[in-house]
Amino acid sequence: MTESLCIDTSVMMKYLCPDEQTLEAIALIANALTQQVRLVAPSFAWAEVGSVLRKKVRAKLLTSVEANQLYTAYISLPIDYIDTEILRLNAWQLAEQYGMPTLYDAVFLACAKAESANFWTADDAMLNLLSSRPSYVYRLGE
């Protein structure tokens, strides 16, 4: 079976944004692209990435032109966007299980689980909620 990765928005921003870039995020995604690893994400991930970029424009951390270039680079990535009923149900169950205040992080977890993908995040707040971290969850930099 081909390896799959589910990349959290926290990692994707470290890949895309000059003010946040880390070598780990660049290496992770560049390697996935080179090795033709399947990238998966919840169906709303493009909107989440776009929203973070828009906030950076408003905060004057990026120009509108820079944000547009980064968004264009993001949407050109070969990501399979996933949206199924079982994903929605599993996300709710995971949010309940881990006491997550919103569904966003739970949907990424459910997506990775449903697609047998390794989930990569840089979101320490989310990781702290995972009382026992599932074997498919990885923290960027570990």
The SS3 of residue 9 is helix
pLDDT at position 19: 65
Residue with tokens 């169906």: 43
Q: Is the pLDDT of residue 1 over 50?
A: no
Instruction: Tell me the average pLDDT of the chain.
Output: 94
Mean per-residue pLDDT, 53-72: 97
Mean per-residue pLDDT, 103-121: 96
pLDDT at position 30: 96
Task: Tell me which of 55-59, 78-82, 131-135 is least confident.
Answer: 131-135
Task: Tell me which of 16-25, 36-45, 121-130 is least confident.
Answer: 16-25
Q: Is the pLDDT of residue 141 over 90?
A: no
The pTM (predicted TM-score) of the whole model is: 0.92
Mean per-residue pLDDT, 67-71: 97
Instruction: For 45-114, give the DSSP string.
Output: HHHHHHHHHHHHHHTTSS-HHHHHHHHHHHHTS-EEEE--HHHHHHHHHHHHHHT-SSSHHHHHHHHHHH
Q: Is the pLDDT of residue 2 over 60?
A: no
Phi-psi region of 19 (alpha: psi -120 to 50; beta: other; left: phi over 0): alpha
